[in-house]
Amino acid sequence: MQTIFSALLRRAPQLGARAERLELADGDFLDLSWVEVGRPRLAILSHGLEGSFQDSYIRSMAAALVNAGWDVLAWNFRGCGPKPNRLLRTYHSGATADLSAVITHACAQHPAESLALIGFSLGGNLTLKYLGENPSIVPPAVQGAVVFSTPCDLANSSSALASVANKLYMERFLISMREKIRQKDRLFPGKLDVRGLERIRTFEEFDDRFTAPINGFRDAAEYWQKNSSRQFLNEIRVRTLAVNARNDPFLGLLCFPREEAYASEFFHLEIPANGGHVGFPSGPVAAESWAARRAIEFLDRP
């Protein structure tokens, strides 16, 4: 209920965002949305699977940050904006080069003295992997990060989502993901084998057939292993908070990295009893997000 009704009932504030298209070195692009007045603090928001800047949890977080004195930059992953991306490759859980490009661009274009990274679900995994896989390239301006509902063990999360209880969620994602593959097939005829696409029922099947080979991985197992952020948590050198609700239907036991949090002075883990997946309602009507309040509290604390 917290997962579904927060998505349905939470208000999506109208924000005066400035759109920008960031051209990438490989010939592709990313769509950015800026909500800015030139404040000294900038938060970069990364959405979840099949999400975008239009999602209520992103817009609610952006509005709360603006009200708390932050400028905001939200970015759409490749193919998640109003137009398909130019290349056959897609966004995926470990595409940290794209997040790095956004951060580099933000550092060059915005006068902020400090940056914070905030990620949800897939965007949370992406954020943690970016911070830990090569800490030396993280700009000094990045001084904090908060992630919510993060599947830091991708195989474990995929297994949890494949359960009968999560059939509704799985099919909702797959409807959108199948359509993007059909779109890729039209743009790149002969490059993909779309036979039996409608019969795919799990992430393992989808990632084996499409996500992994399109993005240079052997199969789903290799894709999950190389891109799960849990293996990088011990290397994080930026003050970081991960919040995963105990009742999150998308996360298995391996997505709660207690040992890494105990061992790190930088990586912190909170496991509230409630919140669902990217839900975290602050009241009975789920109109506002507890997650936004918690993120701001953490980032404001020295």
pLDDT of residue 284: 52
Q: Does the residue 89 lie in any domain?
A: yes
pLDDT of 7 above 80: no
268: which strand partners?
241
Contact criterion met (CB below 8 Å) for 236 and 129? no
Closest to 211 in 3D by CA, of 175, 189, 178:
178
Report the pLDDT averaged over residues 198-210: 96
pLDDT tens sequence across 264-289: 999 999 999 999 999 897 765 445 68
Determine which of 145-154, 205-214, 281-290 has the lowest per-residue pLDDT on average. Answer: 281-290
pLDDT tens sequence across 111-144: 999 999 999 999 999 999 999 999 999 999 999 9
Whose tokens are 């109109």? That residue is: 287
Express as a percent the part of the chain with pLDDT over 70. 95
- Rounded to whole angstroms, the Cα distance separating 207 from 221 reads 9
Judged by phi (left if over 0) then psi (alpha if -120 to 50, else beta), residue 278 lies in: left
* CATH code for position 239: 3.40.50.1820
pLDDT of residue 286: 46
- For 105-135, give one letter per residue: b (16+ CB within 10 A) or e: bbeeebebeebbbbbbbbbbbbbbbbbbbee
Q: Does the residue 133 lie in any domain?
A: yes
Closest to 116 in 3D by CA, of 54, 60, 78, 74:
74
The model carries a pTM of 0.95
Domain that holds residue 278: 2-154+234-300
- Rounded to whole angstroms, the Cα distance separating 22 from 35 reads 16
Helices (H), 11-71: 56-67
- Which distant-in-sequence residues (6+ apart) come within 8 Å of 205 by Cβ? none
Q: Does the residue 175 lie in any domain?
A: no
**Distance in angstroms between the alpha carbons of the first and the last residue of the chain:** 35
Express as a percent the part of the chain with pLDDT over 90. 87
> What's the whole-number average pLDDT of the chain?
94
Whose tokens are 């700009």? That residue is: 139
Q: Per-residue confidence at 226, pLDDT binned at 50, 70, 90?
A: very high
- Which distant-in-sequence residues (6+ apart) come within 8 Å of 105 by Cβ? 22, 32
pLDDT tens sequence across 165-195: 889 889 999 999 999 999 999 999 999 999 9
Contact criterion met (CB below 8 Å) for 1 and 276? yes
pLDDT tens sequence across 66-115: 999 999 999 999 999 999 999 999 999 999 999 999 999 999 999 999 99
- Rounded to whole angstroms, the Cα distance separating 118 from 121 reads 10
Q: Does the residue 62 lie in any domain?
A: yes
Q: Does the residue 43 lie in any domain?
A: yes
pLDDT of residue 10: 66
Q: Does the residue 206 lie in any domain?
A: no
Q: Does the residue 55 lie in any domain?
A: yes
Full DSSP string of 59-89: HHHHHHHHHTT-EEEEEEPTT-SSS--SSS-
Contact criterion met (CB below 8 Å) for 287 and 6? no
pLDDT of residue 8: 63
pLDDT of residue 99: 98
Contact criterion met (CB below 8 Å) for 76 and 49? no
Q: What total number of domains does the chain contain?
A: 1
- For 14-26, give one letter per residue: b (16+ CB within 10 A) or e: ebebeeeebebee
pLDDT of 251 above 70: yes
Determine which of 1-5, 24-28, 97-101, 212-216 has the lowest per-residue pLDDT on average. Answer: 1-5
Q: Does the residue 80 lie in any domain?
A: yes
